[in-house]
Structure 1
Amino acid sequence: MAGKNRIAVIGASGRMGKAIIQVLSQSKESELSAAVVGKESVCLGLDAGLNSGLKPNGILFTSDLEKAISEADTIIDFSLREVLQEVLRVCVAAGKPAVVGTTGITAEHKKLLMDASSKIPIVYSPNMSVGVNLLFKLTEIAARVMGDLADIEIQDIHHRHKKDSPSGTAEKLKAILLETLGRSESDVIHGRHGILPERDPKEIAIHSFRAGEVIGDHTVFFFTPEERIEISHKAQDRKTFAVGSVRAAEFLVGRKNGLYDMFSVLGI
């Protein structure tokens, strides 16, 4: 590939789309090639740079998904889960690698990702932040050491506008704990209410707060009778997710078909 990696951003007018456009404006390796929004978006025809708090960049918001993907080297998708199937279909048809950061996806969506990854390289993660992926790895390590000795709780705090609960990050933390400890969904509870029996030693609880304008805070607690371990990540700027997304897109250049995660991108 000559020149910079040309990236089409799907869901480009949203919070994450704007942050990715800002990061791309400063990247030495990649550049924005298209900014895609829905057909009913009020942003259609507006300058994507100006809408993202930058100088005009001459790239206008478009709803032409196929053209945007065909002219890009890599795609970053932060649109709605309802359009993921169409995004993957077009990426596969065009043979273009994709970074998928769409949240709230279901088992059906994960199957779509697996099927598409046999034809194109894909990075999927419920959280693209470098720091959050370190949180995932540290949680895995702590669970191996402390898991059978400790009571485990997950705390998930996000802004009041977030629709999915628990967050995709909290769900990933849960999945790491279940796999590492050999437990199942029957061991997971969401919050607590009423008069309850003594805690089951295998119980893992998830607590979700939706308040204010918190970008995203996650903590995993390991409680023993003698001590408490807290592993936390607190996002201070939405750009942390955008930086990781662009890094993932650059990682995909020249990769074989397959489904990659941020551990692969970061080499951890």
Structure 2
Amino acid sequence: MNKIALIGAGGRMGRAITQAISNTQESSLAYAVVRPDSYSIGFDSGLHCGIKENGVKFTSDLEEAIQNSDGVIDFSSVDGLEKVLSLCLQYNKPLVIGLTGLTSAQKKKIEDASNSIPIVLSPNMSVGVNLLFKLTEIAAKVLGDDFDVEVLDIHHRHKKDSPSGTANKIKEVLVQALERKESDVIYGRHGIYPERSTKEIGVHTMRAGEVVGEHTVYFFSPEERIEITHKAQDRKTFGVGSVKAVEFVIKQKPGFYDMFNVLGI
């Protein structure tokens, strides 16, 4: 059975992943890593996330967790990414990264590390969201410049990054499929604008309430409108996808993978 180290185990996503690991036959949670200043150190991670006691207590010993695991899932913060990468390289451990808000320099470090270890990087581990990415790609290639394109990203009021990592991935899919550039993307609108360019891609953000995550891609023509929407109703969907990702990456050679590879789409 695969021994999994979960970094960022005390957060919302950490709880969802802990629950998902408890339901798989292929893997078990071996380490639940939290910040050194976390109040939860020493608490049982199973009880913390609402399942039965699992005997895996929260720890801040990142090196021990990575060294003694078969695979690592990182849902902590971008600030700790460099240390996680360094330790995974040192101990030759497969890694799943679900962090958002990464800089270009951090993405480059991840790609460089994937030359030595297998890494799955995705801003969203949900099976449904990754199907949204694929459907967006197909629609964009079919509809082309005949349709105006807009993206709406809705999340809970606590979310810090905007647009979301998922919305940025949708934007990247659209830019590539439509053969456009980052300069064609408009992030929100305010004030007086000239008439909309046929190449323009609009990306908009809402932060309110406790919305788990909702993303819609709109394609508008003068005659019709196509909407592709994904609504996450429970974070369990992200946990299940994360477990699929780590069980996939453990079996891979060094390389840079995404959820399309994990799901075979």
- TM-aligned CA deviation for residue 147 of structure 1: 2.3
Query: Which residue of the partner structure matches residue 6 of structure 1?
Result: 3
Q: Is 1:227 aligned with 2:250?
A: no
TM-score normalised by structure 1 residue count: 0.98
- Secondary structure in 2 matching 1:104: coil
Query: Distance in 1 between the 2:206 and 2:133 partners?
Result: 20
Paired residues for 1:66-215 under 5 Å = 66-215=63-212
Equivalent residues, number: 265
Query: Which residue of the partner structure matches residue 62 of structure 1?
Result: 59
Q: Deviations over 1:110-154 (max 9, x none)?
A: 011101101100000010000000000000000001121100000
Letter matched to residue 9 of structure 2: A
Query: Distance in 2 between the 1:183 and 1:89 partners?
Result: 35
Query: Distance in 2 between the 1:17 and 1:113 partners?
Result: 21
CA contact (8 A) 1:147 1:222 kept: no
- TM-aligned CA deviation for residue 158 of structure 1: 0.2
TM-score normalised by structure 2 residue count: 0.99
Query: Distance in 2 between the 1:255 and 1:180 partners?
Result: 28
Letter matched to residue 50 of structure 1: L
Q: Is 1:28 aligned with 2:25?
A: yes
Q: Deviations over 1:10-57 (max 9, x none)?
A: 000000001100111111111100000111111111111111111211
Identity among equivalent positions (%) equals: 63
Is 12-21 or 52-61 further displaced after alignment? 52-61
Query: Distance in 1 between the 2:227 and 2:4 partners?
Result: 37
Gaps of 5+ in 2: none
- TM-aligned CA deviation for residue 253 of structure 1: 2.3
CA contact (8 A) 1:221 1:231 kept: yes
- Secondary structure in 1 matching 2:218: strand
Query: Distance in 2 between the 1:256 and 1:43 partners?
Result: 35
Query: Distance in 1 between the 2:251 and 2:8 partners?
Result: 25
Runs of 4+, deviation exceeding 4 Å? none
CA RMSD of aligned residues (A): 0.7
Q: Deviations over 1:214-267 (max 9, x none)?
A: 000000000001110001100011010110000011111221100100000010
- TM-aligned CA deviation for residue 193 of structure 1: 1.3
Query: Which residue of the partner structure matches residue 44 of structure 1?
Result: 41
Query: Distance in 2 between the 1:108 and 1:172 partners?
Result: 17
- Secondary structure in 2 matching 1:209: strand
Letter matched to residue 148 of structure 1: D
Query: Distance in 1 between the 2:144 and 2:152 partners?
Result: 17
- TM-aligned CA deviation for residue 108 of structure 1: 1.0
Gaps of 5+ in 1: none
2:12 alignment partner, one of 12, 15, 24: 15
